[in-house]
Amino acid sequence: MKNSKILLLLCFSFLLAQLMVAQEKTISGVVTSKNDGAPLPGVGVIIKGTLKGVETDFDGKYQVKASVGDVLLFTYVGMKTKSIVVSTQETLNVALEDSNVLNEVVVTALGIKKTRKSLTYAAQDVNAQELSRVKQTNPVNSLSGKVAGLNITRSSSGAGGSVKVVLRGNSSIGNNQPLYVIDGIPLNNPSSGQPTTTFGDINGGNRDGGDALSLINPDDIESLTVLKGASASALYGSAGLNGVIVINTKKGKSGSFKVDVSSNLVVESAAYMMDFNDEAQKNIDGFYSAGTTNINSFSISGGVEKAQTYFSYSNTFADGILPTNSMKQHTFNVRETAKLFEDKLTVNASVMGTTQSIGNRPVSGLYFNPLVGVYGFESQTESLSDYERFDQYDPSRNIMAQRWFRGTSDIEQNPYWILNRNAGEDKNSKLVASLNLNFKINDWLSLQARGTYDQSIVDFEKKIYATTEATLAPANGRYIVREDEFTQMYGDLLATVNTNITDEISLSGIVGVSTTRNTIDRFAADSGTNGGLQFANVFALQNFNANASVSFTENSFETRTQSIFSSATIGFNEKIFVDLTARNDWTSTLPESSNSFFYPSIGVTGIISDIVNVPFAKVRASYGEVGSGFLPDQISPNNSILFGGGVNPIDPIRPYPGTVPKPQRQRSFEIGTEWKFDKFGFDIGYYYTSTVNQYFAVPVSTTIVSSGIAGLNAGDIVNKGVEASFYVTPVDNDNFKWTSTLNFATNKNEIVSITGDDVDGLIPTDFFTISPKGVNTFGSYLVEGGSFGDIYAQVIKRNAEGLPIYDNGALVMEDSDLIDGLTKVGNANPDFALGLNNSFQYKNLSLDFLIDGKFGGETVSMTESIIEGLSNNSARETANANVTVADLGGQTSTLTAQEYYGLAGGRNSFTGEYVYSATNVRLAELAVGYNFNLPENSFFRRVKASLVGNNLFFFYKDAPHDPNIALSTGNALQGVDVLGLPSTRSVGLNVNLSF
């Protein structure tokens, strides 16, 4: 009897199992958009609570195995998630609805999510695909032309170079770069140095120290939002003075594990440089190499409903157009998310690490720059390539000595010698580890704690061999070592409230505290131009000569900032929203009596969609204040100890006696309106900012300060402008879709004041120096009534007819309206900028291109000036056209082109003769892609290949160089090219695989 029961039970179990198997079946269908019926590729179709799932193909089709009773989740970005219970049907077609634009979520300050309708300030999103479609080694470069009011200027230092980012104009004599926030946490973005002079740095060359942004893998970015103005960034206090760029990285999603692989290979060529004669151009073409950049990325993501994982690895291998210049970079990213304790606690942990090695990063200026010898080479019997064998044996010293067709000088050496015997190497690494704990106390209250450890290490080494030009190195050579370590530790605690006070009034708000600790440890050793090495070409610290002319410096700095902040958004009938923020910072870099500063903001937005009967329309207005503290060791600086004993006799700049330094403060007001229709929309705004209490080094009486210079809060810099972005979808049907976006921005900058109120002993000054003129006769100054970025140059005096005055064998200099001996000739900043982005989709074929234009502004080609003074290699000199000149008495005569430009050019030239319009319109990006149709049993989910191009050509350009390239990403050297590496044109192939 017992055995029969067991047998019966086994039979029943077998029949039940067979029945369950019979219920599992293949379900297929098409997922479309409910709005227009178009198929949706890449929709996630997941069996709820499992790892099983698929994605729709390009035609929106899917096929998945499921059982009766299973719940299928259909998820797609920008669409409402839909869940359907499996019953007896085998075909299941699904139409997804667009997310209500009124409830579109935007990630704002501190990682707080808000609905777009409630925002009282301008915030513009950039799709992650826009950053990775045409990849660049620094993903921020891909923002150019895609955000209204955001001006991107690339460095001339090639792969791994830093990028200058200015939002709504320059406002400070200090840092003008925005704050970068990754997953709600401020990113430490240090730079170990930027060029400041046109002539160059005798201590290694005009070197770009790079930045942390080039260490980010663009494929890790899920979304990017630019927060503009003080109201948007007030919650970040002193860190958010220049706006905020919020980056959210990818994380795992529940469902089947997904693997994405991409590989991008482009070939680059030197594209935009001054016009040379045929012989010189032949030598130059033979010098530059064909550059290549290969970026590979791999990621795996997935998980269950309670826990998800995301892992990525990427590498970049680049060989620049400058021989011997190369970059190697490796980046990994791990992110874990989990929900615990019945979904009450959400844990988010991530680690990102990067290593980067750059050989022979290009420099600008004249010192240590191979382009001086390349562009200036002229010989009737030899070619530049004859000097690729750059050294020869010197029996008197038993070493290999530099070989060149003529005597070297401080600015000119054999370019191949510079590349191989003055070589530099940069090694950078970054580690960012963060932990985020979010505890949901109840339906309306949650508590969040976050912490981040952010470390950047920047090392530089330069080996300068014996027989290098004596101005740059002693007889036995020179060795330079620099090591910088930047560490940031950040933590905050936030309480978040989301509730309805009444049926008509809603409240969302936060209250929080944060702490930030930044440390900088620096070590630098330089055998110097006089100290030198004991033994030739032995590059080690113990080989330094033991004298006071060698340099050993070691410094350590620390800053701490403690903050308390709050924010509240009050909604009235979901039609009117009032946004209030307040933050107070305490900083260690200010005296205790003035180290506390308060930053508020207020904004109002009104939804007018019902009034004007459109899907979405609103108006907004806001006012906010932000500011910044001081650098370490600036208010109470210490005298440095000299190597070998004693204290540096040069006293550092200290605050004006009796004054209490105050933090810089920016006040900002903006208004705007945003409208969205079915296939068209726009966002237009106006802003006004005033930045005061800047900390200037001003001249004072030596009876008050012995050095004659003191620090003083003063100045007022105003920026005002209009920003507008438009989008339109002219065509959208089953086979073809065309989307176009246009960004427009204009900014007017004015230096209202420099020194401010009269102070006893203050020596009146007409200007503040941004770029000193040195001996190159180019300068940039802040002058009351002028603008940030004004360019000053040495100008040739002309008569009433406009003819250059030439007297006693020399050109005569203009001597009226001078600042520091120079004349204003223009401004480096554009009057307005346009970015036009178009995307076409025809069945499996896609075409995307970006036209980027900057209109107005001026730029100076000191490259042309120096080369024309050094040689006869420019095309216009060779043409030998005559130039009419006049003497002081009005008598006219002619000079040949070689004579005229030989007198105008050179190291101490009439730079006013080399001013060009900076207006330019270029085809910045182009991508032609194809999504391959895959069979149902394919191993791959998606395969796409694209032909890509970057910086392909200019529709219009007046300057003899690319005006979108900067020698420095700091404030100095804007609007000038001094033998910077020419920008490149790149074309290549991008392949994306998903499985």
Lowest model confidence (mean pLDDT) among 104-108, 118-122, 350-354: 104-108
Please give the full DSSP string across 363-412, using - where no structure is assigned: -BSSTT-HHHHHHH---SS--GGGGSS-EEEETTTTEEEE--SS---SS-
Lowest model confidence (mean pLDDT) among 92-96, 107-111, 330-334, 408-412: 107-111
**The residue to which tokens 């304790």 are assigned:** 341
What are the tens digits of pLDDT across the range 357-367?
A: 999 999 999 99
Q: Report the pLDDT value the prediction gives residue 36, as an integer from 0 to 100.
A: 62
Residue 756 above 70 pLDDT? no
Q: Report the pLDDT value the prediction gives residue 35, as an integer from 0 to 100.
A: 67
Report the alpha-carbon angle 868-978-854, nearest 5. 110
Other beta carbons within 10 angstroms of residue 25's beta carbon come to 15
Which DSSP letter does residue 286 get? H
- pLDDT interval class at 757 (50, 70, 90): low
Contact 912, 778 (CB under 8 A): no
Mention every residue, 6+ apart, whose C-beta is less than 8 A from residue 4.
none
Rounded to 5 degrees, φ, ψ at 441 are -75, -45
Where would I find the beta strands (DSSP E) of 540-660?
551-572, 576-587, 596-607, 616-628
Work out the mean pLDDT of the chain and round it to a whole number.
89
Q: Report the pLDDT value the prediction gives residue 107, as an integer from 0 to 100.
A: 80
If you average pLDDT over residues 944-969, what whole number do you get? Answer: 94
If you average pLDDT over residues 530-551, what whole number do you get? Answer: 92
User: 563: helix, coil or strand?
Assistant: strand
* Residue from 831, 672, 837 nearest 742 by CA: 837
Other beta carbons within 10 angstroms of residue 669's beta carbon come to 17
What are the tens digits of pLDDT across the range 72-82?
A: 888 876 677 78
Q: Report the pLDDT value the prediction gives residue 10, as an integer from 0 to 100.
A: 42
- Separation of alpha carbons 794 and 778, rounded Å: 7
Instruction: Output the pTM of the full model.
Output: 0.87
- Separation of alpha carbons 264 and 137, rounded Å: 11
Q: Report the pLDDT value the prediction gives residue 264, as an integer from 0 to 100.
A: 95
Residue 657 above 60 pLDDT? yes
Higher pLDDT, 10 or 180: 180
- pLDDT interval class at 506 (50, 70, 90): very high
Residue 19 above 80 pLDDT? no
Instruction: Report the 3 state secondary structure along 402-466.
Output: ECCCCCCCCCCCCHHHHHHHCCEEEEEEEEEEEEEEEEECCCCEEEEEEEEEEEEEEEEEEEECC
Token code pair at residue 1: 């009897």
Q: Report the pLDDT value the prediction gives residue 197, as an integer from 0 to 100.
A: 86
Contact 498, 508 (CB under 8 A): yes
Other beta carbons within 10 angstroms of residue 15's beta carbon come to 10
Distances in whole angstroms, Cα of residue 154 to Cα of each of 117, 210, 557: 34, 11, 29
Lowest model confidence (mean pLDDT) among 93-107, 448-462, 976-990: 93-107
- pLDDT interval class at 15 (50, 70, 90): very low
Lowest model confidence (mean pLDDT) among 215-219, 282-286, 717-721: 215-219
What are the tens digits of pLDDT across the range 369-418?
A: 999 999 999 998 999 999 999 999 999 999 999 999 999 999 999 999 99
Higher pLDDT, 827 or 637: 827
β-pairing verdict for 221-227 and 185-186: unpaired
- pLDDT interval class at 739 (50, 70, 90): very high
What are the tens digits of pLDDT across the range 20-66?
A: 444 578 898 999 887 666 778 778 888 887 767 888 876 788 988 88
If you average pLDDT over residues 579-588, what whole number do you get? Answer: 92
Q: Report the pLDDT value the prediction gives residue 838, as an integer from 0 to 100.
A: 95
Give how far the C-alpha of residue 662 lies from the chain's centroid of Cα atoms, to the nearest Å.
29
Q: Report the pLDDT value the prediction gives residue 51, as an integer from 0 to 100.
A: 67
Contact 112, 448 (CB under 8 A): no
Contact 927, 990 (CB under 8 A): yes
Q: Report the pLDDT value the prediction gives residue 675, as an integer from 0 to 100.
A: 94
Q: How would you class 1 by CB atoms within 10 Å of its CB: exposed for 0-12, middle for 13-18, buried for 19 or more?
A: exposed
Token code pair at residue 190: 């240090």
What are the tens digits of pLDDT across the range 586-602?
A: 989 888 878 888 989 99
Other beta carbons within 10 angstroms of residue 308's beta carbon come to 21
Q: Report the pLDDT value the prediction gives residue 969, as an integer from 0 to 100.
A: 84
Q: Report the pLDDT value the prediction gives residue 2, as an integer from 0 to 100.
A: 45
- Separation of alpha carbons 160 and 428, rounded Å: 10
Residue 353 above 70 pLDDT? yes
- Separation of alpha carbons 401 and 395, rounded Å: 10
Task: Quickly list H helices, 880-965.
Answer: 897-904
* Residue from 835, 834, 841, 847 nearest 730 by CA: 841
Helix, strand, coil percent content, the chain, rounded in steps of 5: 10, 50, 35
